[in-house]
Amino acid sequence: MASPGTVRLLTALREGSLDEVRPILDTETGTVTYPDATEYLDDRDGRSFELLEALAERDLLYREFQEKQYICPRCESKGMQYTTACPFCDSPQTIRTDRFRHPDCGYEGLREQFVGDDAVVCPNCDAELESLKHLESNAAHVCEECGDVFETPEHRLRCRDCRHVSDPLQTIERILYRYFLSERGAAWVDEQLAARQALAEVFEERKLHPEIDTVVTDGTGEEVPVHLFARDDLLNDRVVAAVHERPDETDIAALTALAADIGARAALVTTSGEIAGEGASDLLADDDLTVLRVTKNDELEREYEVVDDGRAGNSFVGRLADIFKPQNG
């Protein structure tokens, strides 16, 4: 969850360079984007909406209602259009008109049935009227598909892409929010930034040259965003580091795989002092990985806990491997 892009986005909200993250709706295509978020996130962060929702679920962001979006149940296109439909055949080809009633004989019909070339005449009793004002009238709708006349059409949504017409209750409803940084989110990003800075200072003390929020090039030539990368080109020493509140097995595996791919050692920092997951202990046995935790004084130490389900347990002292010992070759 604590990807470089996520930290970058919450930092912008924390520092005030970004006040909020708003959804932008393209009225022609129905597409919703979050350009305020996309500006700070990386491609590897995935869909902006899903990441923002995940941050809101963790109370790092709070949200306010903006509007609703409806998704086609057939092709999953976004932004369906409102329309009306015939209650008998469900066709959207309906026209609003007026239905007239002759009060003397009780005949009911549409406008064109009463209006002739030269006069207004009741088609039932042939009574000639001065105008349509002498008839009772009310709104009506005519279906051009089946020809039925009805008072009230059905509410429907029509897909812009596949043209499928759906009952609103059968579509996928999504609420769009505006997102703001919460108090917990502000504290969280402060912890992340402090941990990265503390590790960078330690690297500097060991004569390594750290870069915060940078990219490294993996074996396929792809640039991978990382929290911190430190190097000593003279001694051929490299360390790639990740900072997470509560790293899990996925975080550990991704970091160690990247480090192995680029010929570096790995440093993992937990700001909570915990690592989650039953299988984490096996991954932590990697000789090229050192795990550190941040103390309340923003200092780093090697003691941390591995927990199964969020409760403290299986506490042990982190490995004593020196990540600052230069590599050769």
Place of tokens 């059409």: 153
Angle at 63 between CA 59 and CA 68, to 5 degrees: 135
Measure the CA dihedral 58/63/67/68, to 10°.
20
d(CA 124, CA 105): 8
pLDDT on residue 110: 72
Measure the CA dihedral 117/122/123/126, to 10°.
-90
Mean pLDDT to the nearest integer, 26-54: 88
pLDDT on residue 326: 40
Cα 315 to the chain's mean position, in Å?
35
Counting residues of the chain whose pLDDT is more than 90, the rounded percentage is 43
Confidence tier at 319 by pLDDT (50, 70, 90): very low
d(CA 178, CA 94): 37
The DSSP output letter for 67 is E
| Every domain range in the chain assigned CATH 3.40.1350.10 | 184-317
The amino acid at residue 155 is H
In whole numbers, what is the pLDDT of the chain averaged over residues? Answer: 85
135: nearest Cα among 158, 151, 165, 113: 113
The amino acid at residue 295 is T
Mean pLDDT to the nearest integer, 10-38: 88
Instruction: Give, rounded to a whole angstrom, the gap between the first and last alpha carbons of the chain.
Output: 34
**Token couple for 51:** 């990441």
pLDDT on residue 148: 85
Architecture (CATH level 2) of domain 184-317: 3-Layer(aba) Sandwich (3.40)
> pLDDT for 251-279, tens place per residue?
999 999 999 999 999 999 999 998 988 77
Q: Are strands 303-307 and 274-276 parallel, antiparallel or unpaired?
A: parallel
Place of tokens 């209006």: 115
- String of DSSP letters for 17-81: S---B--EE-TTT--EE-HHHHTT--GGG--HHHHHHHHHHTTSEEEEEEEEEEE-TTT--B-PE
Q: Is the pLDDT of residue 197 over 90?
A: yes
Q: Is the pLDDT of residue 291 over 70?
A: yes
**Token couple for 276:** 């989650």
Mean pLDDT to the nearest integer, 295-306: 84
Q: Where are the alpha helices (DSSP H) in 146-286?
A: 183-205, 249-262, 280-283
Place of tokens 């935790």: 293
